[in-house]
Amino acid sequence: MEKQAMLTPGTLLRGGAYRVERALSSGGFGNTYVVTNLNFDVVCAMKEFFMKGINLRDGNTVTVSVPDNRPSFDAQRDKFKKEAQRLWKLQNDHIVKVHDLFEENGTVYYVMDFIDGESLGERLKRLGRPLTEDELLPLLRQALDALESVHRQQIWHLDIKPANMMVNRQEQLYLIDFGASKQLHTSDGHSVATSSAMAFTPGYAPLEQTDQNFRLFGPWTDLYALGASVFKLLTDQTPPSASEIIAMGGQLTFPTPLSPRMQQLIAWMMKPAYTQRPQSAAEVRAFLDKPVAADDDDETRVVSKPEPADEETIVSAIHPQPSTPRPSTPKPSTPKTAPKVEEKQTLTADEIFADGESKKPWPMIIGGAVFVLLLVVGGIVALSGGSSSPDETPSVKETVEQKMNEVKRVEDMEFISNLGEKGTYTGPIDDSGKPHGVGRAVFDSSTYDGPFEHGAMHGTNVTFTYKNGSSFKGEMHKDHFLKGRYNAGDGSYFEGTFDAKGQPEHGMWYDPNGNPLETM
User: Would the pLDDT of 384 be above 60?
Assistant: no
Least confident of 129-133, 135-139, 141-145, 310-314: 310-314
The string of pLDDT tens digits covering residues 402-452 is 544 456 899 999 998 887 788 999 999 998 899 999 999 999 878 999 999
User: Would the pLDDT of 360 be above 80?
Assistant: no
Q: What is the number of residues in the chain?
A: 520
- Beta bridge mates, 58: 3, 61
pLDDT at 214: 82
- Beta bridge mates, 98: 112
Assign 3-state DSSP to the chain and report helix, strand, coil percentages, each to 5: 30, 30, 40
Least confident of 138-152, 167-181, 300-314, 491-505: 300-314
CB 96 within 8 A of CB 115: yes
The burial of 28, by beta-carbon neighbours within 10 Å (0-12 exposed, 13-18 middle, 19 or more buried), is given as buried
- For the entire predicted model, the pTM comes to 0.56
Averaged confidence pLDDT in the chain: 78
pLDDT at 46: 96
149 or 308, which is more confident: 149
Candidates 260, 261, 252, 330; CA nearest to 289 is: 261
pLDDT at 369: 45
pLDDT at 131: 97
The string of pLDDT tens digits covering residues 253-283 is 898 899 999 999 999 999 999 999 999 999 9
**Of 136-145, 346-355, 490-499, highest mean pLDDT:** 136-145
Least confident of 120-129, 184-193, 292-301, 412-421: 184-193
The string of pLDDT tens digits covering residues 8-60 is 999 999 999 999 999 988 877 889 999 999 999 999 999 999 998 899 998 99
pLDDT at 489: 65
Amino acid symbol at 213: N
Rounded CA-CA distance 496/485 in Å is 7
